[in-house]
């Protein structure tokens, strides 16, 4: 018999370690649907409401809240209870007037409370780009979306200003580009994975090796206390121009 694809169920023991669930309380847990974030870097919306935010006591309550459209993800009502919420997603619950941004920290992901003004935009990293017909440029972002940028001549640098690993500021809920942050020295950045996940500071230096892939190069970052540390380019997420555009967790 042919293979039918991935399993629809997930046991608690192999679930991502940062999920706030009791490993021995039961055998099974919910499995996120396919979506913008991989299972290793997301939390299903049901667990967000029940285990993280505490607005529901049971899965049934969480399911009802979600199906009634009372939870917004990136400014739009999300009625899929197993939707995978991940890095930089903005989760809002208008009935209780609260919004959260998904940020990385040393153990995985955390839902950081944010104000109304900050809930009106999202930051997305450019993972890839492609020049299409008629001079249009397609930008592939970290959350799975593709953004089409129309330019007259993509071969002119003054028109094609986007590069991989740059960050776009996306307005919510209309999902339009409202800002462009370059990956460059001096820019504030957040480490999204690895041993330094959750740490942030300004980019001091970027290693240049012609024979090495850019994403494997080392980046030196200096935090608010003057401490310097290194990580790979692939783990660095630019979050501002001169100052961070988003509020962050207090440095430990």
Q: What is the CATH number of the domain that holds 70?
A: 3.10.290.10
Structural domain boundaries, residue 197: 188-238
CA distances, 33 to each of 45, 96, 156, 240 (Å): 10, 26, 41, 31
- Six-digit token string for 138: 């397609």
Give me the sign of the Cα torsion angle 180, 99, 193, 28: negative
CA distance 73 to 83: 9
Contact call for residues 82 and 46 (beta carbons, < 8 A): yes
Domain boundary (133, 159, 181) is at 181
31 and 60 fall within a common domain:
yes
Neighbours of 105 (CB within 10 A): 14
CA distances, 118 to each of 50, 91, 98, 104, 170 (Å): 24, 11, 11, 17, 11
Q: Residue 128 domain-assigned?
A: yes
pLDDT in tens, 12-23: 898 888 888 888
- Domain of residue 168, CATH code: 2.40.50.740
Domain boundary (100, 115, 130) is at 115
Domain boundary (60, 81, 115) is at 115
Number of H helices, E strands in the chain: 2, 19
Decide: helix, strand or coil at residue 122.
strand
Give pLDDT, residue 159. 67
CA distance 233 to 227: 18
19 and 110 fall within a common domain:
yes
Give pLDDT, residue 240. 95
Give pLDDT, residue 156. 65
Cβ partners under 8 Å of residue 156, min gap 6: none
- Six-digit token string for 174: 């209309």
pLDDT in tens, 150-193: 877 766 656 678 999 999 999 999 999 999 999 999 999 999 99
Give pLDDT, residue 21. 87
Give every residue of the chain whose pLDDT is below 70, as ranges.
1-6, 154-159, 251-252
130 and 104 fall within a common domain:
no
Q: Residue 111 domain-assigned?
A: yes
175 and 133 fall within a common domain:
yes
Contact call for residues 137 and 162 (beta carbons, < 8 A): yes
Q: Which of 119, 117, 78 is nearest to 100 (CA)?
A: 119
């Amino acid at each position: 018999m042919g293979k039918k694809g991935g399993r629809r169920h997930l046991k608690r023991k192999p679930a991502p370690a940062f999920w706030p669930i009791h490993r021995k309380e039961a055998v099974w847990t919910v499995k996120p649907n396919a979506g913008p974030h991989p299972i290793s870097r997301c939390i299903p919306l049901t667990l967000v409401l029940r285990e993280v935010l505490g607005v529901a006591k049971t899965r049934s309550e969480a399911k009802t809240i979600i199906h009634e459209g009372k939870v917004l993800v990136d400014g739009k009502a999300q009625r899929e209870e197993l939707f995978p919420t991940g890095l930089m997603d903005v989760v809002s619950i208008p009935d209780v007037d609260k919004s959260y941004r998904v940020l990385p920290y040393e153990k995985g992901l955390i839902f950081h409370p944010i104000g109304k003004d900050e809930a009106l935009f999202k930051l997305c990293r450019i993972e890839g780009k492609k020049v299409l017909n008629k001079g249009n440029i397609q930008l592939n972002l970290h959350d799975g979306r593709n953004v089409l940028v129309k330019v007259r001549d993509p071969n002119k640098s003054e028109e094609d200003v986007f590069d991989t690993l740059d960050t776009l500021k996306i307005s919510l809920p209309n999902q339009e580009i409202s800002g462009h942050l370059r990956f460059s020295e001096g820019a504030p950045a957040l480490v999204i994975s690895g041993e330094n996940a959750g740490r942030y500071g300004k980019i001091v230096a970027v290693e240049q090796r012609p024979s090495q892939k850019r994403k494997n190069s080392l980046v030196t970052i200096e935090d608010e206390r003057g401490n310097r540390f290194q990580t790979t380019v692939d783990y660095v997420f630019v979050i501002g121009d001169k100052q961070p555009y988003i509020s962050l967790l207090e440095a430990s």
